[in-house]
Structure 1
């Protein structure tokens, strides 16, 4: 019987997957803006949204039917599972309210998951492929909404994102007890090495995660803060020149 090789952090396959997500995430929105009409930009975004939903369904089927995991452990209730649904909602209906929440969840959650995947087996294990397609599409979808739909977060979006995450945790915590699950990693840390290993034991790492969510949100809002500051500075300079 052939057993897949164990997953190795930042091996060749992992690095190539990260590079592919970065390449598609940057090139696809820019190509759509340059060469597609508005209607085809919308159609392509909807296609990405459908791909997100299809891969999530396929991933659930794969884990239950191929790997024999119980359905109670594979519901889309982890942060990235919820991000899949919100990103698809954003792309299918150009829904800004979903975007301003998932923007921070994508960069704080899906990016972290891609960098330190909670995987046991490496490429070409089907779960490995499903993992990188799903998490990669989240980031690609958010970049598409940002660069093509011209969506952007605002300071109030940080509060909405954090409040939505807190509400999700409150609702999912009792489900974890009922289903004997570990959604949002509220019950224990991931089995694979991750940033959570640096945040202390349970339950103290939950408070550290909340603080980290706030800090990461501020970091990922920084590009827009800098752009707004530069725009105000340029506008002020032009106004001074017009008055002189």
Structure 2
């Protein structure tokens, strides 16, 4: 279950094992929401550090797996995919509780990681190590942002959305340059994913990159709406 033989553990989009992973992931998100008001200081700390451990282990084991199989490559294993960047941001966010990191992490994670769970760029299916590592890592990313929102009560503003959008574009410029230097496809800035994904409907290269900008703005706006409505509702209730 630790080898690199794709054919031994093929991944099939929306197969039983994939749908099961989606159900478990969204079940965990719902579960976190339901217990949000029942966590004490100690239980909050335990949950936070468990998330940190999951993030660290999922990334460390991923890198070790590539290394021991002699497949580690600078064009594949640098943490420059959107979800890899989100994972590191979430680690920093949980440990430091930095609000600016939270702003970027939330918008990046709740788009990239959630989409990755539903339409993963994954070649190994159940019960391969990579299947579990992939879904655990992406779920931990999402739960980390929801933890900061629901448990630590962090909130977002319209400016948060703009700052996150600008920050991700600056990151994308750096990643694009690194892609050219090492021949990589981090953040899918060089070509589309090999597996089926929503990007397939956004046009050919390089035009789909412009489409992604529009999609990102739409998704960021949808993510911001609950915060907007809650803030307005709170203002009305205080009148």
Deviations 1:186-230 (A, max 9, x none): 000100000100010111111111111111000111111121222
- List alignment gaps of at least 5 residues for structure 2: none
Instruction: Name the structure 2 match of 1:200.
Output: 203
- Candidates 6, 10, 17, aligned match of 2:10: 6
Q: Which residue, out of 123, 133, 143, partners 1:140?
A: 143
CA–CA separation in structure 1 for the residues paired with 2:16 and 2:172: 35
Query: Which blocks of at least 5 consecutive residues in structure 1 are unaligned?
Result: 237-244
- Mapped pair 1:17 → 2:21: yes
**2:55 counterpart (49, 52, 57):** 52
* Structure 2 length-normalised TM: 0.91
1:186 maps to which residue?
A: 189
| Other-structure match for 1:165 | 168
Q: Is 2:147 the partner of 1:152? A: no
Shift of 1:42: 2.7
TM (norm. structure 1) is 0.90
Q: Partners in 1 of 2:59 and 2:99 — Cα distance?
A: 22
Q: Secondary structure of the residue that 1:7 maps to in structure 2?
A: coil
Runs of 4+ in 1 over 6 A off after TM superposition: none
Could you report, residue by residue, the CA deviation over 1:56-114 in whole angstroms, capped at 9, with x for unpaired residues? 11112213323724243111101000000111111112222111111111111101111
Deviation of 1:2 after TM superposition, in Å, equals: 9.6
Whether the 8 Å contact between 2:36 and 2:150 is mirrored in structure 1 is no
Query: How well do the aligned residues superpose, as a CA RMSD in angstroms?
Result: 1.9
Distance 2:35 2:101 in 1: 24
Deviation of 1:46 after TM superposition, in Å, equals 2.5
Larger radius of gyration: 1
Q: 1:234 to 1:13 in 2, by over 3 A?
A: same
